[in-house]
Amino acid sequence: MDIGVWMSKQVLAHKLEARHEKNPEQAWNLSRWPTRFKEQEQNRLFVAVEGKWRGYFILSDEALYNPNDPTAFTILFDTRTWKPIPPSPVKRFRGFTYKTPSPAGE
């Protein structure tokens, strides 16, 4: 499954800085669960910044869910998995989208 999210360039920079920390894992909160998430497959989080797709992270097989808040889900990713892609235009969106570019080289 591939999903895409919109981040500011500052947030993406913060996520990428975590590659050099002792714990390179970062999180992204969603208001609904991506139903296309597939176990035993590689799931990717594509990132759009300033109107262009910039790259993606490989999502962890684990996610966080608070049963007391059914509108909050947290997906996890290792920032060392960042793969930049050639920038391609994307219209602004909220939440997440399944309409993502193809990973480079695939």
How much is the pLDDT for 85? 96
Q: Is the model more confident about 83 or about 36? A: 83
How much is the pLDDT for 31? 85
d(CA 89, CA 51): 6
The partner residues of 63 in beta bridges, in order of sequence, read 75
- Domain boundaries 2-97, CATH class: mainly beta
d(CA 34, CA 56): 16
The model's confidence at residue 104, banded by pLDDT at 50, 70 and 90, is: low
Over residues 45-83, the pLDDT tens digits come to 999 999 999 999 999 987 777 777 777 788 899 999 999
Count, residues in the chain: 106
